[in-house]
Amino acid sequence: MAREDEERIVDNEQVVPGGPDTDVDEERRITIRRHELNLPSGGCCMLSTCIASALIFMCLLGFGSYFCYDSPGALQSDFKRDLDLSSTQFTLIYSIYSWPNVVLCFSGGFLIDRLFGIRLGTIIYMVILLAGQLLFATGAIYDAFWLMIVGRFIFGIGAESLAVAQNSYAVLWFKGKELNMVFGLQLSVARFGSTVNFWVMQPIYNYVSGLYNAKNHTVLGMVLLLATVTCVMSFLCSLILGWMDKRAERILQRNNNPSGQIPKLTDIFTFKPPFWMVSIICVAYYVAIFPFIALGQKFFMDRFNYTEAQANTVDSLVYLIAAVSSPIFGFVIDKMGRNVTWIFSATISTILAHSLLTFTQLNPYIGMVIMGLSYSMLAASLWPLVALIIPEYQLGTAYGFCQSVQNLGLAVITILAGIIVDHSNGDHMWVQLFFIGWLTIALISTGVIWAYNNKQRGNLNMTPAQRAEFVSVQHYQHFE
């Protein structure tokens, strides 16, 4: 999102298309690109190929972290048996991932803005992520649960800060109307990683246990070590993307902060109410998705008498649906706008999905398909909303804060959900009501954004055409 004045941006739109300044700037950019790339003809096609390649590597940045994040969920029964864990101990594997990022994710985004820069920051966070996953696998091999927790702690530091860097890359490279679709594509690839994890981890575990002729912590550790290969792949993508971004910065003579304003940690106190409501939604919505999936294998086995393989299949359906539908929703939202309306619809339909799974005997695939579509709808409309509210030079800090509060919620709620399951004697209704309650909070927060935006006549729920007119008339007015 380009900053064309020194005050504030409230939209991704830069100028009204078709103006004379736009034509001159575009001709200048094309001339610079052809000169640097030595492209006398067909330069724009090659430039488009470069951008498409960058998008691929951008999306693959998160594949390894999402794949490894859900490995415990795909092997829930094996984890609890091989390591002799209770449900509360098992959920600690997920909550410890989130605890460090309550603070470090916020500071990680700030460090990208102020110190590392996006390229170096991404590589550093990938190294931290990879080291954490290796420790996690090593702890399982030696039956050292404490080492697994340490590894998961370190893994979380890298993974969540990496997500901030990935969002910042997206806004940096795609500043126009396609931003919603880019966020959708990133989510699609990330959730495809989670889906593949649920598909392959159990068969891999069974294969390795056949080689060792046993089912124990050593087998579990070796399987987790194999999963680390996906993180190595993502690390290579971070190196390639860093090289591409450095080259693009030189070729396009890109200036990410033309006003020269320096981001400060205290900037967070200047953010307007819609940002705080977005942060609440980040917590209240996602705690009804991720902890549910983490505990989902047992839920489907108990409530619907599924086998482990059947439970994993239906449990992974949210991620599979998200992998397919996220870019579609992103494309549609790019064309239609109305982000707040989409968030509202996604939250209501997620409440419906949890209610169907809890209070009816309908095939659970129905509820999980609705949940997957709703999750895709929300992610494609919520995260780009931050870029409509916050100036570009503060986006790393803003996305970092969102990730921080989300991780605080996940850290606390995941443990509480595990405790509820342990004390419910196999009755999953109470934990489901717990999730529905959080979704209700997300719904109320969305209503606050809608009311505030209407009162201030803001652009958060406009169509793309209305936003273009809004920016032209208001000249990037302050969103009070």
**Would you state the pLDDT for residue 17?**
43
**Would you state the pLDDT for residue 251?**
63
For residue 249, the number of C-alpha atoms closer than 13 Å in the C-beta half-sphere is 14
For residue 41, the number of C-alpha atoms closer than 13 Å in the C-beta half-sphere is 0
Region for 462 from its dihedrals, namely left if φ exceeds 0, alpha if ψ lies in -120 to 50, beta otherwise: beta
Residues in the chain: 480
For domain 59-249+269-472, give the fold: Growth Hormone; Chain: A; (1.20.1250)
How far is the C-alpha of 477 from the C-alpha of 457, rounded, in Å? 11
**Would you state the pLDDT for residue 139?**
94
DSSP string, 355-366: HHHHH--S-HHH
**Residue 42 exposed, middle or buried by CB count within 10 Å (0-12, 13-18, 19+):** exposed
Region for 425 from its dihedrals, namely left if φ exceeds 0, alpha if ψ lies in -120 to 50, beta otherwise: left
**Would you state the pLDDT for residue 363?**
93
How far is the C-alpha of 22 from the C-alpha of 15, rounded, in Å? 7
Note every long-range contact of 38-42, with CB atoms under 8 Å and residues 24 or more positions apart, other chains counting: none
Q: Measuring CA to CA, which residue among 237, 256, 250 is closest to residue 123?
A: 237
**Would you state the pLDDT for residue 466?**
78
C-alpha distances in Å from residue 386, one per residue of 180, 268, 283, 449: 11, 13, 15, 12
**Would you state the pLDDT for residue 252?**
60
Q: pLDDT digits over 377-388, tens only? A: 998 899 888 888
- Which portions of the chain are predicted below pLDDT 70? 1-47, 105-110, 113, 175-177, 251-266, 471-480
Domain spans, the chain: 59-249+269-472
With H, G, I as helix, E, B as strand and everything else as coil, classify residue 173. Answer: helix
**Would you state the pLDDT for residue 41?**
42
Q: Is-above-0.75 flag for pTM?
A: no
With H, G, I as helix, E, B as strand and everything else as coil, classify residue 426. Answer: coil
Which tokens hold the place of 182? 């880019």
| CB distance 168 to 1 below 8 Å | no
